[in-house]
Amino acid sequence: MLLFVLSGIFLAEYTDVLPTTLQAQIVTNLSKSKNYLESAFDEYVPKIKSLTNSTNTATEDTTKQETATSQDKQTGSANGTPAFSMVNKFVLGNVYYYHFTKKTPKAARQAFNDAIYAYNQTGVVKLIAGKGNSSVNTVAFSVYYKDEGQRAQTLELGTGGPELTYKTNDPSKAAINHASAKINMTYPESVSDSVTMHELGHALGLNHSTETSSIMYPTNQGVKSLSEDDVAGLKNIYNK
């Protein structure tokens, strides 16, 4: 039908050189085609919309996961270190269970323990030793090895971030965070409180900051304590 209509439109451009009776027949056919298409449009568009709505309703009860990345847009209060935009959309509990993977060496564990202590001291979050389960917030601490090469201008010392699980039909916007924080053991500089605190900050939902005094500044400044903005950023996440 679509091909016929296009052909009809094409022929209509040449009606001035066709016999009158043929012109009339073409116009009649085009009119019928137009009426048919309008009728079909009126009949099927509501059905398509209904099917789309049914699909949306069917997915409302599903459980989804989202993981924040370093490219996530920085948003947050002007008076606090920003949070990942994804984190700002949900309500998180402030209690976390943490554990170390078997491959995490003693030196790395000590640096992570220093970070855990610093965040617990804020009173905003509470990190408890233990693996937890799928229904509670967790943080997994680990190490990895990645050589940036001799020509690299910057070195990746660690990585971390939240992974949120939530139900799409939950009006409370509650989410569970199964986060991770890792340091790159290729470089001795990574085994430091400044790096582990930075990566744990990401795991808890904090994004990068433009303030050099912040533990969340994107390059290592040797900072080993949370700034007022960092604590304010945590409160923005967990005191909703």
> Domain total for the chain?
2
Proportion of the chain above pLDDT 70, given as a percent: 68
Cα distance between residue 213 and residue 221, in whole Å: 8
Q: What is the value of pTM for the model shown?
A: 0.72
Same domain, 195 and 178: yes
CATH number at residue 187: 3.40.390.10
Strands 163-167 and 63-67: antiparallel
Q: Are residues 208 and 154 in the same domain?
A: yes
As a whole number of angstroms, the distance between CA 30 and CA 57 comes to 40
Give yes or no: residues 100 and 119 share one domain: yes
Question: 76 and 211 in contact (C-beta within 8 Å)?
Answer: no
Report the pLDDT value the prediction gives residue 240, as an integer from 0 to 100.
84
Q: Which residues form the domain of 11?
A: 2-59
Same domain as 116, residue 49? no
Q: How many helices (H) and strands (E) does the chain have?
A: 6, 10
% pLDDT > 90, the chain: 63
- The residues, any chain, with a CB within 8 Å of residue 168's CB and separated by 6 or more, are 59, 60, 61, 62, 63, 64
89 and 197 assigned to the same domain: yes
Closest C-alpha among 167, 168, 162, 165 to residue 176: 165
- Domain stop point among 11, 44, 59: 59
Task: Tell me the per-residue pLDDT of 89-126, one tens digit each, with 9 for 90 and over.
Answer: 999 999 999 999 999 999 999 999 999 999 999 999 99
Q: Do residues 103 and 143 make contact, with C-beta atoms less than 8 angstroms apart?
A: yes
Domain boundary among 32, 59, 86: 59
3-state SS assignment for residue 102: coil
Q: Where do we find the tokens 């040449």?
A: 14
Does 230 lie in the same domain as 148? Answer: yes
